[in-house]
């Protein structure tokens, strides 16, 4: 049912929950994190004030910022993407590429840029969905309590490489939005440059770069993959994926 009149004031620069139809519930008994989609969840008013985000420590700024970038990249390449969502997501990618490092250093301009980046990316993915990065990140949170943005950031470059055959042209545009000069590059080289730029940003802001660094071992992967293949975000991925392929993708970031 329709909720009470709601004013949402975000205090992190990542989820965009103040403008989406989505929310996430964790079943602590079954150790399962699942996404709910309900238009009655949309707040009536969103007050997006970067000053409300200025007390975030560096690690939280980095992880939530990479969550915003993941929203924009997955929303740009998801199966349901269209012209309006592309416009919002590309602007969000540009803002994230230009401002996340500054936001981690608590620069006011960086905070403002990331506040806008996460807000507009959320409006886009709320309408077109996400993909395999989120599908694989959710069980990392439910089974191992890994912060959502950290899980997304770790997985994003590897899943981009997996999706590249279906997204070569769009990845080239992402590279440009991230500030890469793709002049003279082939389409595949430009696409790879997008992956490299995302990974470089992740490293620059201090995101751990392996599952083992987060306390996840190889024997944990089958349970992660079983939840990931069933996640509501996974079908939105631009490239079809099997549970066995998800196991291999987790192993690539082990």
pLDDT tens-digit readout, 6-65 = 999 999 999 999 999 988 899 999 999 888 889 898 999 999 999 999 999 999 999 999
For 127-170, write each residue's pLDDT tens digit: 999 999 999 999 999 999 999 999 999 999 999 999 999 999 99
Work out the pLDDT band at 2, boundaries 50, 70, 90: confident
CA atoms lying within 13 Å on the CB side of residue 106: 10
pTM here is 0.97
**CA separation for the pair 159, 205 (Å, rounded):** 19
Supply the pLDDT for residue 3.
79
Average pLDDT taken over every residue of the chain? 96
Q: How confident is the model at residue 125 (pLDDT cuts 50, 70, 90)?
A: very high
Condensed to tens digits (0 to 9), the pLDDT of residues 222-232 reads: 999 999 999 99
* Terminal Cα-to-Cα distance of the chain (whole angstroms): 43
Asked if residue 151 lies in contact with residue 211, where contact means CB atoms within 8 angstroms, the answer is no
Checking if the pLDDT of 97 tops 90, the result is yes
Residue 35, strand partner residues: 24
3-state secondary structure 10-71: CCCCCCCHHHCCEEEEEECCCCEEEEEECHHHCCCEECCCHHHHCCCCHHHHHHHHHHHHHH
For residues 46 and 116, what is the distance between their CA atoms, to the nearest angstrom? 12
Question: Token pair for residue 139?
Answer: 């069980």
């Amino acid at each position: 049912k329709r909720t009470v009149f709601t004013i949402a004031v975000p205090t992190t620069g990542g989820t965009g929950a103040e403008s989406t139809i989505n929310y996430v519930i964790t079943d602590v008994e079954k150790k399962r994190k699942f996404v709910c989609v309900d238009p009655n969840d949309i707040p009536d008013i969103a007050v997006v004030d970067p000053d409300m985000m200025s007390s975030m420590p560096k690690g939280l700024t980095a992880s939530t910022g990479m969550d915003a970038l993941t929203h924009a990249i997955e929303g740009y390449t998801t199966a349901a993407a269209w012209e309006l969502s592309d416009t919002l997501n590309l602007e969000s990618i540009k803002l994230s590429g230009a401002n996340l490092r500054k936001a981690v250093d608590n620069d006011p301009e960086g905070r403002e840029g990331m506040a806008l980046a996460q807000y507009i990316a959320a409006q886009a993915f709320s309408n077109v969905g996400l993909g395999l990065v989120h599908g694989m990140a959710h069980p990392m949170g439910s089974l191992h309590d890994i912060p959502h943005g950290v899980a997304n950031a770790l997985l994003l470059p590897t899943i981009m490489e997996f999706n590249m055959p279906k997204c070569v042209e769009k990845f080239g545009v992402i590279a440009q939005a991230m500030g890469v000069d793709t002049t003279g590059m082939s389409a595949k080289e430009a696409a790879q440059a997008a992956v490299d730029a995302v990974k470089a940003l992740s490293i620059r802001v201090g995101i751990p770069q392996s599952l083992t660094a987060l306390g996840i071992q190889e024997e944990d992967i089958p349970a992660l993959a079983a939840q990931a293949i069933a996640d509501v975000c996974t079908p939105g991925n631009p490239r079809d994926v099997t549970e066995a392929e998800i196991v291999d993708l987790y192993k690539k970031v082990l």
